[in-house]
Amino acid sequence: MARRSLPLLKHLLSSSSSSTTPTLRRSVTYMPRPGDGEPRPVTLIPGDGIGPLVTNAVEQVMEAMHAPVYFEKYEVHGDMMRVPSEVMESIKKNKVCLKGGLTTPMGGGVSSLNLQLRKELDLYASLVNCFNLQGLPTRHQNVDIVVIRENTEGEYAGLEHEVVPGVVESLKVITKFCSERIAKYAFEYAYLNNRKKVTAVHKANIMKLADGLFLESCREVATKYPGIKYNEIIVDNCCMQLVSKPEQFDVMVTPNLYGNLVANTAAGIAGGSGVMPGGNVGADHAIFEQGASAGNVGNEKLLEQKTANPVAVLLSSAMMLRHLQFPSFADRLETAVKQVISEGRYRTKDLGGSSTTQEVVDAVIGALD
């Protein structure tokens, strides 16, 4: 089941002596620890709708690369009352999961399985990277935004009840603990990825206590990172600025609901939800999936014609490979996907083309170096 392969060592830097002496080439390379090349198990949840189609694309590409991962696949569907216990056990054992979209029923008594996964595994940080892809025309250029969203509380706490018939109360919960740790994650991400600015998104002018606490936490954490610029923006102004001048944003840190809206807006600006990678991470576990509109399961026409866009999930799996400390495999996959997009011969309908999912997958495999 598992494919074993030697780690690929990617040469990143070479130097030479002066022209009067023989050339001396030196390399700085990724140096794995003994055993790092052992194949890693990953829990795979194909999900609903187009989920099995796009996650199968990942399986094919991983096999073509001989990537040191193998999948433990489970059937999970959005209309289930709970995530099956054997699936949770698999994720807790493997620490990493790749998933397709899960349908979330509207109204009624069935809770979102996406929320169940985030809460039970304490996946407190959602990360969506929205960026321009070379060769894909968009209204705005130089967009490279990372939206980091608190994933466990806020309006998504699920604390709702009917006070009296016809009156429903929904509670927004903001805590110091959760606000501080998402702010720390955002600044740590910026620091480790050479990002220059973190912007906190809020509505503290109206929700003075709840969003005020979120802002207070962000400000405290910001003082510990003097090399990173920090600013704040009200969420409604943020949406206007996103659609008019998105290149001003770098890393954005948000409470739960605002992050969902901001990430989807940024994705639409940069090329659409079909190409934006993302993931959810906590102290011990991580789930990778399509970044924006992660619950999107497509429609019957996409399924019948098999024309779902696999790019977002492929790029999310590259993020997963980096998380697993397989950087050269991640680089190969990401480079191949970007090459296919740049060449423009194989694109699904949402990107202005007419290719099937399989045609895009075959092109990516053909572009692997």
User: If you write DSSP's letter for every residue of 145-162 in order, what string do you get?
Assistant: EEEEEE-SSBGGG--EEE
Strand partners, 99: 45
Determine the average pLDDT of the residues in 239-254: 97
Q: Please, which residues have CB within 8 angstroms of residue 70's CB and are 6 or more apart in sequence?
A: 1, 2, 3, 39, 40, 41, 42
pLDDT in tens, 133-187: 999 999 999 999 999 999 999 988 778 888 999 999 989 999 999 999 999 999 9
The pTM of this model reads 0.88
Domains in the chain (CATH in brackets) are 37-124+278-368 (3.40.718.10), 139-270 (3.40.718.10)
Instruction: Report pLDDT for 352.
Output: 92
* Each residue's pLDDT tens digit, 16-59: 333 344 455 555 677 888 988 899 999 999 999 999 999 999 99
Q: Which token pair is 257? A: 């609901």
Helix boundaries (H) for the chain? 51-65, 85-94, 113-120, 176-192, 210-222, 235-244, 256-270, 300-305, 311-323, 327-343, 357-367
User: 85, exposed or middle or buried, with CB in 10 Å at 0-12, 13-18, 19+?
Assistant: exposed
pLDDT at 14 over 80: no
Q: In this predicted structure, what is the pLDDT of residue 207?
A: 94
- Pairing label, strands 277-281, 96-99: unpaired
Indicate if the pLDDT at residue 273 is higher than 80: yes
- Residue predicted with more confidence, 318 or 13: 318
Distances from the Cα of 114 to the Cα of 59, 82, 102, 369, angstroms: 22, 10, 7, 35
Instruction: State whether residue 332 is helix, strand or coil.
Output: helix
- Closest of 27, 7, 6, 5 to residue 15, by C-alpha: 27
Which of 64-78, 89-103, 104-118, 267-281 comes out lowest in average pLDDT? 104-118
Residues 6+ apart with CB under 8 A from 21: none
Per-residue pLDDT at 71 exceeds 50: yes
For residue 167, list its beta bridge partners: 164
Q: Which of 199, 311, 193, 324 is nearest to 249 (CA)?
A: 199
At 18 the pLDDT is 37
Q: How confident is the model at residue 1 (pLDDT cuts 50, 70, 90)?
A: very low
Structure tokens at 308: 């779902």
